[in-house]
């Protein structure tokens, strides 16, 4: 599904990813862990096509397409979804308008008719219920005045409505209390399927108690330096990142 | 003085109701004695009157149908007067007024109405500060008078539509409206200017007189496009504990200059003033607002937002003047601008002049471009860049559109504005 080979990327001219390789097959859940500044968030942004994040070498192929050549919205149409660590607030554009425009854009790409307003509202209300977000939030400006936890739930709700092939969660767990964490985990687990994959970018092992990954990778200085199964996450929790960096050195 | 007016002056002093003649004479005298403002005149610094340098003739009566005029005639319920090129079209107008409410043309005024018009007309607008009011007086042959008696509540809106049609040669239209609300009277008024004239110059003055406790929901829509030129304004006088809720919208055209002057004359008066201006091409809109707080305990909430694209240029000058006696005033003014092109221009100047010491006032202005972070976020959700730009632009003014209290007007504005943002319906589908 996703194949990243020797990816080098720069942010504002500074090298952040320095030869990252990763393969994600359909249905797999990969956790990417690593210390601050190792390039975890950069990976998500490069995959989603954020301006200013430029790949200088390497390839990224998703569903057989060269992702790096695609516009941001084309990547979304192809099924890549990034749940932002810091979702932006958009006053004046209601969450409902925004979600409907997104869902319609995706459906258009799949040659489906746009949803009628009633069916869409029904779906949106169900999704908001599933992430434990008051439907009143649908009428508010996108993320406007939402708390940190509400923004994360809103990201999850979007993911549910857009049904991506690959969901990348960028530190979705940070700043969440246990209840909210559980809501996020339940949402992701409910969406897991043989056709859908996830990349969970996280600092802490805590999220992985709720969403069991197939693989755990440690990112350090722009590269994956160690991969393993979920037990690697527990080891990291116990020993920190220092021992891996020592091992690599 | 510009030549164009000579023809007008010659044409205008025919068939004028006697009670207007004196006003017309003095207007003509003042106008002839004054000089056309230049870019060195502070109040006209960023607005050129060059477009007025051509020969205008007086407007002629048109019998064109609604279709021929390209007029989308919205139905807000209530009463409606339609003027085409300054002439009333009775076939397109309707009256629905309760006892205590009168809506009449100056030309048709009874002697009692003429007396009331003569007593109030020109009482709010200050001709010395607004020289085009002299021109309006000078060419004044007709106007509209809405009078709501004390304690009368007008439930349905009064819709006044002025259309300038696309005719040659260039012509001028005089617009005048006088609204008088008695003590505790209530009314809703929509002033609506429209048309795609190639070259029509409208010179308008609206005066709003609110007696104590009166409540007016006022809307002024400048939807004239293309070569339409409009120099005019709204001048309001607010009595004790009265409320003026005023919404303004201007689409750009060749030249628009709109003055909004609010005089708080009675303690406890409140004014909500909201406005939107949308420009593209090489259009020009100039809004000048001036709020005079002369008495204590009055409040003003003013918000204007503009979106300027292409090579268009806009001006916003918002002045709040707190006089020495206006203690306990609360006044806020905000002006935000979105430039969607690197050649677009906005000259904004919020002014706060305070001579009282116990007041709470705030004012501010911002100029920004579309936020790249927001655009990116929308695009990661599959929305293409063009649609994302429309969403964000519309979002910039959406709050003000939603603030329009008259629902039927909101329903009219929404699709009209959507079309203004993009002719491609796919880009505005989220607004449907």
pLDDT confidence of residue A233 = 86
Average pLDDT over residues A212-230: 93
Residue B2 predicted with pLDDT over 60: no
Average pLDDT, chain A: 93
pLDDT confidence of residue B10 = 61
pLDDT in tens, A146-192: 999 999 999 999 999 999 999 999 999 888 888 889 999 999 999 99
Contact flag B392-A91 (C-beta cutoff 8 Å): no
Choose among A82, A98, A105: nearest Cβ to B384.
A105
pLDDT confidence of residue B14 = 61
Residue of chain A with shortest Cα separation from B381? A102
pLDDT confidence of residue B132 = 95
Q: Tell me, what DSSP letter sits at residue A14?
A: E
Contact flag B372-A51 (C-beta cutoff 8 Å): yes
Contact flag A101-B430 (C-beta cutoff 8 Å): yes
> Is any Cβ of chain A less than 8 angstroms from the Cβ of B398?
yes
Q: Copy the structure tokens of residue A75.
A: 């990547």
Choose among B374, B379, B382: nearest Cβ to A90.
B374
pLDDT confidence of residue A188 = 95
How far apart are the C-alpha atoms of B307 and B288, rounded to whole Å? 17
Cross-strand partners of B216: B187, B244
Choose among A88, A101, A141: nearest Cβ to B377.
A88
pLDDT in tens, A40-67: 999 999 999 999 999 999 999 999 999 9
How far apart are the C-alpha atoms of B340 and B320, rounded to whole Å? 29
Distances (CA, A) of B352 to B128, B204, B320, B329: 22, 27, 5, 12
Contact flag B398-A93 (C-beta cutoff 8 Å): yes
pLDDT confidence of residue B54 = 87
Report residue B16's pLDDT band, with 50, 70 and 90 as the boundaries.
confident
Choose among B373, B382, B385: nearest Cβ to A88.
B373
Residue A239 predicted with pLDDT over 90: no
Contact flag B379-A114 (C-beta cutoff 8 Å): no
pLDDT, greater one: B122 or B196 = B122
pLDDT confidence of residue B424 = 74
Contact flag B430-A100 (C-beta cutoff 8 Å): yes
The nearest CA of chain A is from the CA of B49 a distance in Å of 35
Contact flag B429-A114 (C-beta cutoff 8 Å): yes
pLDDT confidence of residue B432 = 64
Nearest residue to B376 (alpha-carbon basis) of A45, A91, A184, A19: A45
Q: Copy the structure tokens of residue B260.
A: 């909004």
pLDDT confidence of residue B1 = 47
The nearest CA of chain B is from the CA of A18 a distance in Å of 24
Nearest residue to B386 (alpha-carbon basis) of B374, B371, B375, B395: B375
pLDDT confidence of residue B9 = 63
Residue B29 predicted with pLDDT over 70: yes
**Beta strands B101-105 and B87-88: pairing type?**
unpaired
Residue A24 predicted with pLDDT over 80: yes
The nearest CA of chain B is from the CA of A187 a distance in Å of 18
> Is any Cβ of chain A less than 8 angstroms from the Cβ of B371?
yes
How far apart are the C-alpha atoms of B315 and A15, rounded to whole Å? 45
pLDDT in tens, B168-183: 889 999 999 999 999 9
| b/e sequence B330-362, b meaning 16+ C-beta within 10 Å | ebbbbbbbbbbeeebbbebebebebebeebebe
- Which chain A residues are closer than 8 Å to B381 by Cβ? 76, 98, 101-102, 105, 158, 162
Alpha helices, DSSP H only, in B343-406?
Answer: 372-380, 385-402
Residue of chain B with shortest Cα separation from A84? B377
Phi, psi of B263 (to 5 degrees): -110, 115
pLDDT confidence of residue A249 = 63
What is the count of residue pairs from A and B with beta carbons less than 8 Å apart? Answer: 88
For residue B75, count CB atoms less than 10 angstroms from its CB and return exposed for 0-12, middle for 13-18, buried for 19 or more: exposed
Residue B95's SS3 state is coil
Q: Copy the structure tokens of residue A186.
A: 């339940």
What's CA A55's distance to the chain center, in Å? 19
- Which chain A residues are closer than 8 Å to B382 by Cβ? 73, 76-77, 102, 105-106, 109, 162
- Which chain B residues are closer than 8 Å to A71 by Cβ? 379, 384-385
Residue B428 predicted with pLDDT over 80: no
pLDDT in tens, B367-416: 999 999 999 999 999 999 999 999 999 999 999 999 999 999 999 999 89
Residue of chain B with shortest Cα separation from A98? B430
Average pLDDT over residues B328-344: 96
Scan for tokens 């201006």, then name that residue: B277
Please say whether the beta carbons of B295 and B271 come within 8 A.
no
For residue A221, count CB atoms less than 10 angstroms from its CB and return exposed for 0-12, middle for 13-18, buried for 19 or more: middle
Q: Copy the structure tokens of residue B87.
A: 């002439």
Contact flag B378-A100 (C-beta cutoff 8 Å): no
pLDDT in tens, A104-115: 999 999 999 988
Choose among B372, B385, B391: nearest Cβ to A101.
B391
Contact flag B374-A105 (C-beta cutoff 8 Å): no
pLDDT confidence of residue B64 = 87
How far apart are the C-alpha atoms of B231 and A199, rounded to whole Å? 60
- Which chain B residues are closer than 8 Å to A105 by Cβ? 381-384, 387
- Which chain B residues are closer than 8 Å to A109 by Cβ? 382
pLDDT confidence of residue B45 = 94
Average pLDDT over residues B48-73: 88
Residue B117 predicted with pLDDT over 50: yes
How far apart are the C-alpha atoms of B359 and B296, rounded to whole Å? 9
> Is any Cβ of chain A less than 8 angstroms from the Cβ of B391?
yes
- Which chain B residues are closer than 8 Å to A51 by Cβ? 372, 376
Q: Which residues of chain A approach chain B closer than 8 Å at the C-beta?
A: 48-51, 71-73, 75-77, 81-82, 84, 87-88, 90-93, 97-98, 100-102, 104-106, 109, 114, 141-142, 158, 162
pLDDT in tens, B266-296: 999 999 999 999 999 999 999 999 999 999 9
> Is any Cβ of chain A less than 8 angstroms from the Cβ of B385?
yes
> Is any Cβ of chain A less than 8 angstroms from the Cβ of B395?
yes
Contact flag A102-B382 (C-beta cutoff 8 Å): yes
How far apart are the C-alpha atoms of A105 and B118, rounded to whole Å? 60
Choose among A48, A81, A92: nearest Cβ to B398.
A92
pLDDT confidence of residue A177 = 87
Choose among B382, B391, B429: nearest Cβ to A106.
B382
């Amino acid at each position: 599904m996703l194949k990243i080979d020797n990816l080098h990327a720069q942010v504002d001219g500074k090298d952040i990813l320095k030869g990252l390789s990763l393969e994600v097959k359909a249905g797999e859940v990969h956790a990417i862990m690593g210390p601050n500044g190792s390039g975890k968030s950069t990976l998500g942004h490069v995959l989603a096509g954020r301006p200013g994040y430029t790949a200088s070498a390497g390839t990224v192929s998703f569903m057989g397409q060269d992702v790096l050549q695609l516009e941001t919205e084309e990547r979304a149409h192809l099924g890549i979804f990034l749940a932002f660590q810091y979702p932006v607030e958009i006053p004046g554009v209601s969450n409902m308008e925004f979600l409907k425009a997104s869902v319609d854009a995706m459906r258009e790409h799949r040659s489906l008719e746009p949803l009628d307003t009633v069916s869409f509202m029904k779906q949106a209300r169900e999704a908001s219920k599933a992430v434990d977000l008051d439907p009143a939030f649908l009428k508010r400006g996108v993320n406007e005045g939402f708390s940190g936890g509400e923004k994360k739930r809103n990201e999850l709700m979007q993911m549910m409505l857009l049904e991506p092939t690959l969901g990348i969660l960028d530190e979705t767990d940070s700043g969440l209390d246990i209840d909210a964490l559980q809501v996020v985990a339940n949402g992701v687990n409910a969406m897991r399927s043989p056709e859908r994959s996830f990349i969970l970018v996280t600092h802490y092992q805590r999220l992985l108690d709720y969403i069991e990954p197939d693989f755990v990778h440690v990112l350090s200085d722009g590269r994956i330096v160690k991969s393993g199964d979920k037990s690697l996450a527990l080891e990291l929790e116990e020993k920190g990142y220092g021992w891996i960096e020592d091992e690599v050195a | 003085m510009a030549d164009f007016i000579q023809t007008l002056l010659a044409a205008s002093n025919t068939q004028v109701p006697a009670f207007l003649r004196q006003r017309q004479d003095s207007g003509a005298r003042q106008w002839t004695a004054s000089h056309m403002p230049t870019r060195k005149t502070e109040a006209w610094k960023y607005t050129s009157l060059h477009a007025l340098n051509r020969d205008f003739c007086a407007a002629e009566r048109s019998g064109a149908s609604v279709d021929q005029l390209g007029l989308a005639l919205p139905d807000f319920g209530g009463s409606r007067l339609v003027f085409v090129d300054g002439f009333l079209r009775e076939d397109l107008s309707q009256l629905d007024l309760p006892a205590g409410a009168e809506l009449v043309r100056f030309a048709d005024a009874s002697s009692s109405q003429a007396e009331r018009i003569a007593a109030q007309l020109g009482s709010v607008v200050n001709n010395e500060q607004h020289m085009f009011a002299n021109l309006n007086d000078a060419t004044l042959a007709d106007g509209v008078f809405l009078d709501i008696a004390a304690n009368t509540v007008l439930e349905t809106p009064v819709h006044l539509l002025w259309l300038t049609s696309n005719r040659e040669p260039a012509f001028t239209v005089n617009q005048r409206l006088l609204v008088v609300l008695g003590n505790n009277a209530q009314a809703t008024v929509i002033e609506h200017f429209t048309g795609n004239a190639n070259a029509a110059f409208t010179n308008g003055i609206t005066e709003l007189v609110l007696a104590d406790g009166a409540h007016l929901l006022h809307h002024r829509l400048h939807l004239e496009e293309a070569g339409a030129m409009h120099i005019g304004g709204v001048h309001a006088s607010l009595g004790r504990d009265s409320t003026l809720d005023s919404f303004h919208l201007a689409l750009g055209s060749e030249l628009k200059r709109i003055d909004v002057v609010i005089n708080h004359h009675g303690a406890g008066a409140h004014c909500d003033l909201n406005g939107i201006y949308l420009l593209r091409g090489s259009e020009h809109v100039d809004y000048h607002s001036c709020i005079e707080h002369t008495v204590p305990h009055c409040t003003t909430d003013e918000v204007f937002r503009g979106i300027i694209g292409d090579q268009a240029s806009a001006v916003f000058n918002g002045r709040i003047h707190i006089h020495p006696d206006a203690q306990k005033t609360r006044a806020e003014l905000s002006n935000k601008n979105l430039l969607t092109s690197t050649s677009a221009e906005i000259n904004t100047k919020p002014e706060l002049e305070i001579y009282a010491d116990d007041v709470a006032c705030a004012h501010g202005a911002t100029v920004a471009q579309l936020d790249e972070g927001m655009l990116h976020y929308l695009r990661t959700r599959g929305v293409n860049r063009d649609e994302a730009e429309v969403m964000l632009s519309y979002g910039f003014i959406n709050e003000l559109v939603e603030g329009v209290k008259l629902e039927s007007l909101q329903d009219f504005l929404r699709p009209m504005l959507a079309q203004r943002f993009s002719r491609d319906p796919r880009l505005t589908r989220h607004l449907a």
